[in-house]
Structure 1
């Protein structure tokens, strides 16, 4: 039986590409026949861009917005640092479409079905059962029954995302840079993407949403009023703009074991705080590593242990930075350090790379 890859995002598509290139004829299953615009992963580090070019997918050719500068903003203070190598702002719709097409072109068979549960050797779908000796679980931040990740945080993180329409004024502000706005209780990343739109992705403590009455729009309005620089960006958001949400994101979690025949990829393998800009690289690296492990005869438990060791340092480092960044005092400290010693920002970028 050919291997099954569940989830056609960056991790799953990368695994399918590697498996197909080796002649394994994988079945790539995704719940959506039309590629959507996933909430997280709108920035590609230079490492991610390099990996993509290696499989014939060029972020620049997809319309990715080149990014050469990181801007840290805490209150009224801003610090900038050059990225070691140029990255890109690219929508997940554009990236995932290209990766899915590449996987199919390499020989993967794409099937559309929604998984109800997963166990070793079996994916229980809505339309049929899918059986295989090897299953590559790449469902991103969405868990599947039978493979639920533990969530133990007293005040868990949640994600919010909105897309600001193309504007010449906003493009002039954001051109060539990615901004990290640091708040008490979270942060927001803002970057231009293909088509000139701006992706705004926030990771915030759930208690902040509760204080806003559970209303994401009210929470955004409050943040804009408390943090003027963020508020200036939100002036470009028309009323009624769609806000995407995902709850209880287990940042910092790493899968250190797995069941026989079940390879965990992407956010199902390791969840790094997204302020590091390395989530996409971890996703694609896990897909490639898992495919190579299976092709070489390495079982899933051994692969998971090996990948956990590989992901440990970048995820831990990103977690330390995140814990500092989500307090006003810590955010101001990080900004002062980045302004006075830009090499510290570059060192932090290097330590969060996989």
Structure 2
């Protein structure tokens, strides 16, 4: 094996932003991903105004991808609803469209795409099913999925799960959701709903394992129960035809921040920090970490230096979002947040600002 640098594991937003920055800095990165064709990842789907800026800086225009413009946030808890204007326009965009555009841009900038399934990652070496890849610098961008040798700590008794469905386009559903992203708060979790480029509605839930267990571990039964209990959520779910595919991810380590790393191993995206998705900043953290890690490597900064520096920057947005989630997953707390937003919309804008990287 010839030793080359750098190597990026994962061609999602974090990996592609790192590849683009490395190429622009004169490097020739390899971009390793398990899928030849871009799929539609569970997490993501909403781009904040800050994330849209990062995307444009990478040479990708969300409007050119047909992204649905989002001007306001709606908080819904039972019979309580409040809205607040976003500081600037955000967008609803599927991960398939986003990741495809970023991968094309990274390859166009000079990154070499390699398709292989990773078995394990260790300092200086990535073991794949087809080959082993040596590198002086490895950028780990495998998202919420851990790889052998680099597992993150998991929550204990009642971990968080992720679940997603896509509701087909419908004129009446479009009228409900046009121009806004909704956060439906319920005991033990929440659901974010936003229209995407094809008019479909992306419904992404973060919930405690116990909530799913209470529905016999069956996602359709859980959504039926939530729809029956929470009228506004039920109104949206009425447009969901039977037999929709459920995407799931288990034991999401919300609140995780990587403060240390091995020499030569730059942890980026969800491998660097996992912010509760109600903040709408997951894509922002992914892109920012990819850019920052690439700049650190180009400047000769070590992986441990980058990791410690990025951990400091991620601390405030992740902890604030974590606190908001803890309040919101109790029914009384959800109603309090909604009532406060209705009374003083600027509080929601302040929370938005505090949860930006």
The interval holding the TM-score normalised by the smaller chain is over 0.9
Shift of 1:152: 2.9
**Higher alpha-carbon deviation: 52-61 or 284-293:** 52-61
- Paired with 1:187 and 1:153, the residues of 2 have a C-alpha distance of 20
2:328 to 319, 325, 349: 325
Within 5 A, what are the aligned runs for 1:236-315?
236-315=239-318
SS in 1 for 2:356: coil
Which residue number in structure 2 is paired with residue 216 of structure 1? 219
Deviation for aligned residue 1:2: 2.5
2:142 corresponds to which residue?
A: 139
2:234 maps to 231
Q: Distance in 1 between matches of 2:68 and 2:35?
A: 26
Matching residue of 1:18: 21
Shift of 1:57: 0.3
> 2:170 aligns to what?
167
Contact 2:5-2:138 at 8 Å conserved across structures? no
Residue 64 of structure 1 is aligned with which of 63, 67, 85?
Answer: 67
What residue ranges of structure 2 are gaps of 5+ in the alignment?
none
1:177 aligns with 2:180: yes
1:201 shift after superposition:
0.1
Number of residue equivalences: 354
- 1:22: how far off? 1.3
Could you say what secondary structure the match of 1:47 adopts? helix
Q: Is the 2:155–2:251 contact (alpha carbons within 8 Å) kept by the matching residues of 1?
A: no
Q: In 1, Cα distance between the equivalents of 2:169 and 2:5?
A: 44
> Does the alignment pair 1:81 with 2:88?
no
Q: Deviations over 1:182-233 (max 9, x none)?
A: 0000000000001100000000000011111111111111111111110000
Residue 153 of structure 1 and its aligned partner are, at CA, apart by: 2.9
1:203 to 200, 203, 206: 206
Give the Å deviation of 1:72: 0.1
1:37-77 deviation per Cα after TM superposition (whole angstroms, max 9, x unaligned) = 10011000000001111121001110100000100000011
Where 2:59 maps in the other structure, the secondary structure is: coil
Q: Secondary structure at the match of 2:63?
A: coil
User: In structure 1, what is the Cα distance between the partners aligned to 2:72 and 2:155?
Assistant: 35
> Matched residues in 2 for 1:59 and 1:326: separation?
32
Q: Which residue, out of 341, 345, 348, partners 1:342?
A: 345
TM (normalized to structure 1)? 0.99
- Out of 87, 95, 103, the position equivalent to 2:98 is 95
What is the rounded CA distance, in whole Å, between the counterparts of 1:23 and 1:296 in structure 2?
Answer: 12
The residue that corresponds to 1:114 in the other structure is: 117
Q: Which runs of 4+ in 1 moved over 6 A?
A: none
| 1:123-156 deviation digits (Å, cap 9, x = unpaired) | 0000000110000000000000000000133210
Which residue of 2 is the match for residue 192 of structure 1?
Answer: 195
- Displacement after TM superposition at 1:167 (Å): 0.4
Where does residue 43 of structure 2 map in the other structure?
Answer: 40
User: Distance in 2 between the 1:117 and 1:218 partners?
Assistant: 36
Normalising by structure 2, we get a TM-score of 0.99
8 Å contact kept, 2:268–2:289: yes
Secondary structure at the counterpart of residue 248 of structure 1: strand
What SS is found at the alignment partner of 1:61?
helix
Alpha-carbon separation, structure 2, partners of 1:153 and 1:279: 23
Post-superposition offset of 1:300: 0.5
CA distance in 2 between counterparts of 1:200 and 1:214 reads: 19
